[in-house]
Each structure stands twice: as C-alpha cells, then as structure tokens.
Amino acid sequence: MKLYAISDLHIDHKINSQALEALPAFPEDWLILAGDTCSNIKHLRLALSHLTKRFAQVLWVPGNHDLWTGVGGIKEQGEEKYQKQVSVCRDFGVLTPEDPYPLWQGEGGDHILAPLFILYDYSFRPADISLNSAVAWAAETGIMCTDEYYLAPTPYPSRQAWCFARCDYSEQRLRKIPSDTPLVLINHYPLREDLVRLVKIPRFSIWCGTRRTENWHRRFNVSVVVSGHLHIRATDYRDGVRFEEVSLGYPRNWNQSKGIQAYLRQILPAPNIMPAKDAGPYWHF
C-alpha cells in the first residue's frame, strides 16, 4: 500500500485527458491530486470518475486553474466555486481540505495526511517592491498571470485576503494535530519561496505562494511536503524535511510516450537513501 502524488493534470487539454483514461489501476494505493486538475466542474467529475476506480483512496486540493471562472461558461466565483468542487469530490468519496485529515497506515508508517488550500499573497517578491506595485513589476518583463483575469476571490476583497483567511484556517487545524504523528502537508503552491526556481520567468514568483508558510515544515511535525504549480518536477530537502514538486503540466511539459503513470511520485514509503539536512534539487524529467 503506497502513497503517490501528482498535480497539474490539466485535463482540459485533450492529450492529458486521453492519457488519464489510459492510466493503469493501482487498486491498493492512494493518490494525492495536488491541484490544477482542470478548470471545469464537468472535467473534474470525469477525472475523479477515472481515478477513484484506479486507486483505493484519492485526496484533492485546488490549484489556481481549478478556481478560474468565466472560462467555458463557468459562472461560480471564488469560494462558491471552491465549495462546489468540494461537493463534487465528496460525491466520489474524495478527501479535500475541508474534511478530517486521514491517518495513513500503509508503507512508510503512520502519517497524518493534511490537504491544504492556501493561495498566494504576492509576497514572493524583492524587498524593494511594494505589494501594490508587484503586478506591474512582473508586467515590466512581459509576465502576467491569467489569474488576474479569471481567479475571482469572491466574497473576499482580494486574493491576498483569501490567502490570509486560508492560512488562518489551516494553522488552526494543524495546531490541533497531536505532535507524535508525522505529517504530510499537501498544497498546490510551494510552501517556501526558495523552491520557486523560475529561471525563464522569475517574476512569476509573485503568483506562487506566501511567506506565511515558510517555516511550517519546522513548526509542525512534518515528514513530507507535496506541491505542484511550477511544472518543474523536483525533490528537495530543507531541515531534513522532504519537499516534492509533483506536477505533470501541459502537454509540452511531459513525455506522452511514458504515460502518466511514469510521473506518479511515490511519497510513502520514503526513498531508502536520505541525503543531507539541506539538499536538492533532484530533478525528475
């Protein structure tokens, strides 16, 4: 019984959707979906229909694409769309950030799996760039995230405010977990700024997380942190904690001849060889 993870399936793309249909079964194993499955509720149902038949248990967290509105006739915005997705997940028995955290008792020993929904707050920026000028700063190099047009934070006044609310909610829940059982934290966005390595588009970093989660791997008894979003697959270690970026990505980001199964990252049990306290990146191509 193994725990696998993948993110950024983007099954709105036909190639990715067809590859998902061809994914073989892992009937004894669990799967983490770490965001950006799709932007359409219909496609979410399709993805979960396939995956819940192939894995014993599926866990889901949202990414920015999952939260988009105004695309393909989507009318729900912000929190309303998120809650609708949570409802769809529950129809399929899929666990979400709104459900009790499950206890993993498979290979790798007992772990509490903590799906999180934490957005970004534009704080991954240089100290001399103000919050109000962050988007303009990114635009100076031709960078603009589509979220600025399609990710509505309703009913919150801003995406930053929604991010803060989700951080508060998640912290409260994590503090209640007994410290004697290790955690697997699961979020779409990286929890640390130093793991955002966007060489070609460095200023896209402002849409990649929040500094409020920078030390969560130390504050809580964390064994592994799972994230996606970057479309740059890697394993890193910080303070002895393993960080896994597990994205598949758009069709141009992966080799279709391998199939999606080649991109499933084993989270538990852990690798046999543990490197130094701080190590990586170890790239996954």
Average pLDDT for 258-271 = 96
pLDDT at 267 over 80: yes
Tell me how far apart the terminal alpha carbons of the chain are, to the nearest angstrom.
25
Domain that holds residue 210: 3-283
DSSP 8-class letter at 32? E
Contact 104, 169 (CB under 8 A): no
More confident residue, 273 or 144: 144
Distance CA 133, CA 276 (A): 39
Cis peptide before 271 (omega within 30 of 0): no
Strand partners, 235: 244, 282
Peptide bond into 281 cis (omega under 30): yes
Decide if 80 contacts 72 (C-beta within 8 A). Answer: no
What tokens does 170 get? 């998640």
pTM of the model: 0.97
- How big, in percent rounded to 5, are the helix, strand and coil portions of the chain? 35, 20, 45
pLDDT tens per residue, range 34-90: 999 999 999 999 999 999 999 999 999 999 999 999 776 778 899 999 999 999 999
Q: 274 pLDDT exceeds 80?
A: no
Q: What is the dihedral of CA 180, 186, 187, 193, to 10 degrees?
A: 60
Distance CA 156, CA 152 (A): 9
Residues 221, 185: Cα–Cα separation, whole Å: 10
Q: How many domains is the chain partitioned into structurally?
A: 1
Give the pairing type, strands 111-115 and 279-283.
unpaired
CATH of the domain at 272: 3.60.21.10
Bridge partners of 249?
none
pLDDT of residue 164: 98
pLDDT digits (tens, 9 = 90+) for 200-250: 999 999 999 999 999 999 999 999 999 999 999 999 999 999 999 999 999
276 pLDDT more than 80: no
Whether the CA torsion 80, 82, 88, 93 is positive or negative: it is: negative
- pLDDT digits 0-9 by tens, 95-123: 999 999 999 999 999 999 999 999 999 99
pLDDT in tens, 127-171: 999 999 999 999 999 999 999 999 999 999 999 999 999 999 999
Reading the block at residue 164, the tokens are: 């803060």
Asked whether the beta carbons of 8 and 35 are under 8 A apart, the reply is yes
Residue type (1 letter), 285: F
